[in-house]
Structure 1
Amino acid sequence: MSRIHRRSAGAWEVILERGRDPRTGRRLRRTFTIRGTKKEAEREAAVQLSAMTRGTYVDPSKETVGQFLERWLRDYVEPSLALRTRLRYRDIVEHDLIPHLGNIPLQNLRPTHVIAAEQALRVGGNRKTGGSLAPATVRKIHNVLHRAMGHAVAWQAISLNPVDAVDRPTIPAATPRTLTAEQARTLLNVLEDHPFGLPLRTALLCGLRLSELLALRWCDVEGSGGRLLILQTLDSRHDGVVRFKATKTHRSARPVSVPPQLLIALHEHRAAQAQQRLVAGALWDDLDLVFATDYGRPLTSGWVRKSFYRLLDDSRLPRLPLHGLRHTMATLMLAAGEHPKVVSERLGHSNPSFTLTVYGHVVPGMHEEASRRLEESLATADLSES
């Protein structure tokens, strides 16, 4: 049972009653204040009354940052986000945020606390070595805390988000590691006879993310149109359970044209896979995957990566992450004069300006080529007039 009284304009006192303690006879009561409308106070009263029933109630006025973060994981992250995101958030909360901020009362959390925690993580937050953390990692931790405190504001636990007053950690600009055109040709030749040759060629020539590549289905391959439809990604194989999810944004869901030779190779691969399916029989897991194990299951991302790195080393090609194949495709297309909008759509970026921000190192060459073409067109015009 709950009772709500107006204390002042926009402030409501909530009293939660759960009868009497069977041992002492004392009334079981909890009281706290909610700022906002009466409807919001009623909604919070219902949430807290349910928590009392489950035995998970925490007095909002005494809740610590750590207690709130655990509640946030339970009530928002677990039911709302994809598995990999849930695992990453829980890892950051439990190992980075709670050790540095967990004992601070939520109501007392200030920007200075956040700044001090991020500085400590930046200097000695590496769990393996005790050394410094990369700026990108510190930014991820910052983003998780900011999102959690945003929900603390929305849930009326605090009035202001203290992370709003803290600048996001900066990440030094870095040029994506790519292969040159000559190195890419060498790689394509080597991939002809490699066990993972076809998926790696597809990653290079179509610019797919690894999660998109491993989730590609035959129903997404348009043979007549020569296109791949990128509609889903491999979320996780956690606990042996295969999970797929829709692409991150509507822009990421996109058609990608396939070079003719690669399309022929995909058709040949489908025929070979049909024979594998017959050999596997009842053990075949029919997920309709283009790139799969001998039993139809998704390829393991770590397995593909390790094979790729070994291949680069054996071929004496520069070491780059597998995502570098996607960067290579974009860089070579832009350098060849392809319109940024076409490249952006092929990559599934939100807009061409983002593509040019990532691949800004290619832009100077594009400008020089454009100037040369302008000069040639004007010279041709002069000749025709004379």
Structure 2
Amino acid sequence: MASIQKRNNKYAVVYSYTNREGSKRQKWESFDSYAKARSRKAEIENQMDKNIFVPPSSQTVNEFLDLYVDLYGVKKWSLSTYERNAKIADSYIRPILGNMALQDVTPLVIEKYYRDLLNTDSVGNKIFKTKKKVSTGTIKQIHKYLKCAFGVALKWDLIAKNPLLSVEPPKHVYKKREIWTSEMIVQALRECEEPKLAIAIHLSFACSLRLGELLGLRWKDVHISDEDIMKDDAHIYVNCELAKVSLKALKALNEKDVIFTFPQNIPNKVYKTTTVLKKPKTESSIRKIWLPKTLAFILREWKEEQEKYKEFFGDEYNDYDLVICFEDGRYCSHNVIRNALKSVTEVAGLPPIVFHSFRHSSTTYKLKLNHGDIKATQGDTGHSQADMVTEVYSHILDEDRKVNAQKFEESFYQNSGEGIDHNNVNQELDINNLINSLKADPELMAQLIEALK
């Protein structure tokens, strides 16, 4: 089925196969050593015996990715996923691996590719004063993209195996996001003179909302009637988000998941992006979130203010039914809220944070209130999997586990007669600490001896 031929200092595995057009072809694959050639010969013969042999193909990675996006991505991806994947592929995959034959991409090729990426300038680093290299976080996203893409190639019988399954990307350590405590949030709200920002902070902290979700929240999904509040059933229903998307992605996905497209502001201008209301990326993000009564009343007062503006602007009011918007009803962009937050942070003298930190503060606060009830917290946050909550907020759960140990000490050891006299232990610890301090400071030891004399 296959043979090994020596050519000068090389060893070639020679075999015949039938291509996709039905023609008989012969293939020579060269190797530096006889051992590698023999291993490849055995692999080919094994695949042919099992009828899983993939005929050689000259299809490049770029050619395959075009097919992958058209047949798989368009069907499976959301708008945000399409944009993110297109950026990853165009920036880091196509320029480096694009011209390689798809079947030539091996685990070794990927290992070297990841190593070289760590020493490559990241795309879009012009915003930094100093050049930044591709991060391990970016490589993790690249790995996820390639692993899925080559998995589809395997499914389509274009390759014999998925090389990404044999490769681990460089370990990525998530940076702990700076968050505000509840006291800091109260301080910021007191200093806040921008009502849109105040409402955004309330909604994000109390309801664990993402910025896009609260900017896309509509009054028809806010239930704060007298009856709702009396029955403790005041709530919001999150079923869309405001997002800025590329027109290219919008066209490629045929406006999939788009609920409403806002009109462009400047006539005759050529736009590359547009702002839309769209369905959330995952089904778990569509959720009902109950409101604290105080927030329900705050929202009612806010709606009354909007009604006054609506009456003032009359026909010029842009009624998109948005909870957070400009006085004339126009949608409010992400940057407007972010810039307002930056100003309040400086005025209040608080540590700088990103707006998404309110979502982290909210999750942390709720986990403390409900003593680590993951499922109840996940219902508010809209995380698709519970382990995403446990991974990010494990330190909160650790605090509860620490309390468990303290309760165990009180309820079992101290009541069972097996406990240790903590007063004696503490005294011993204090004496040991004093001795160690004196040993570390000879001058202090001399002063103590002199005093005793």
TM-score of the superposed pair, with normalisation by structure 1? 0.76
For residues 289 and 163 of structure 1, the distance between their equivalents in structure 2, rounded to whole angstroms, comes to: 45
Match of 1:348 in 2: 382
For residues 60 and 271 of structure 1, the distance between their equivalents in structure 2, rounded to whole angstroms, comes to: 69
Give the 3-state SS of the residue equivalent to 1:62 in structure 2: coil
Match of 1:109 in 2: 105
For residues 316 and 74 of structure 2, the distance between their equivalents in structure 1, rounded to whole angstroms, comes to: 32
For residues 75 and 330 of structure 2, the distance between their equivalents in structure 1, rounded to whole angstroms, comes to: 26
* Structure 2 gap segments, 5+ residues each: 1-16, 24-46, 49-54, 248-263, 265-273, 417-453
The letter of the residue matching 1:168 is P
Give the 3-state SS of the residue equivalent to 2:99 in structure 1: coil
For residues 22 and 327 of structure 2, the distance between their equivalents in structure 1, rounded to whole angstroms, comes to: 62
Matches within 5 A, 1:80-229: 80-127=76-123, 128=125, 130-191=131-192, 194-223=195-224, 224=228, 225-229=233-237
Match of 1:263 in 2: 296
1:230 and 2:238 aligned = yes
Deviation at 1:78, TM superposition (A): 4.1
Deviation at 1:161, TM superposition (A): 1.6
Deviations 1:242-269 (CA, angstroms, capped at 9, x unpaired): 3233233332222212122211111111
For residues 292 and 309 of structure 1, the distance between their equivalents in structure 2, rounded to whole angstroms, comes to: 19
Match of 2:4 in 1: none
1:307 and 2:308 aligned = no
| Deviating more after overlay: 61-70 vs 171-180 | 171-180
Does the 8 Å contact 1:215/1:233 carry over to 2? yes
Match of 2:282 in 1: 249
Match of 1:6 in 2: none
For residues 20 and 176 of structure 2, the distance between their equivalents in structure 1, rounded to whole angstroms, comes to: 55
Question: Alpha carbons of 1:169 and 1:285: their partners in 2 closer, same or farther (altered >3 Å)?
Answer: farther
Give the 3-state SS of the residue equivalent to 1:318 in structure 2: coil
Question: Alpha carbons of 1:130 and 1:70: their partners in 2 closer, same or farther (altered >3 Å)?
Answer: farther
TM-score of the superposed pair, with normalisation by structure 2? 0.66
The letter of the residue matching 1:362 is I
For residues 212 and 56 of structure 2, the distance between their equivalents in structure 1, rounded to whole angstroms, comes to: 41
* Structure 1 gap segments, 5+ residues each: 1-9, 17-34, 37-58
**Identity, % of aligned positions:** 25
Give the 3-state SS of the residue equivalent to 2:284 in structure 1: coil
For residues 15 and 295 of structure 1, the distance between their equivalents in structure 2, rounded to whole angstroms, comes to: 67
For residues 196 and 285 of structure 2, the distance between their equivalents in structure 1, rounded to whole angstroms, comes to: 28
Give the 3-state SS of the residue equivalent to 1:236 in structure 2: strand
Question: Alpha carbons of 1:272 and 1:376: their partners in 2 closer, same or farther (altered >3 Å)?
Answer: farther
Give the 3-state SS of the residue equivalent to 1:157 in structure 2: coil
Match of 2:401 in 1: 367
Residue of 268, 271, 288 corresponding to 2:321: 288
Does the 8 Å contact 1:136/1:171 carry over to 2? yes
Question: Alpha carbons of 1:278 and 1:61: their partners in 2 closer, same or farther (altered >3 Å)?
Answer: farther
The letter of the residue matching 2:147 is H
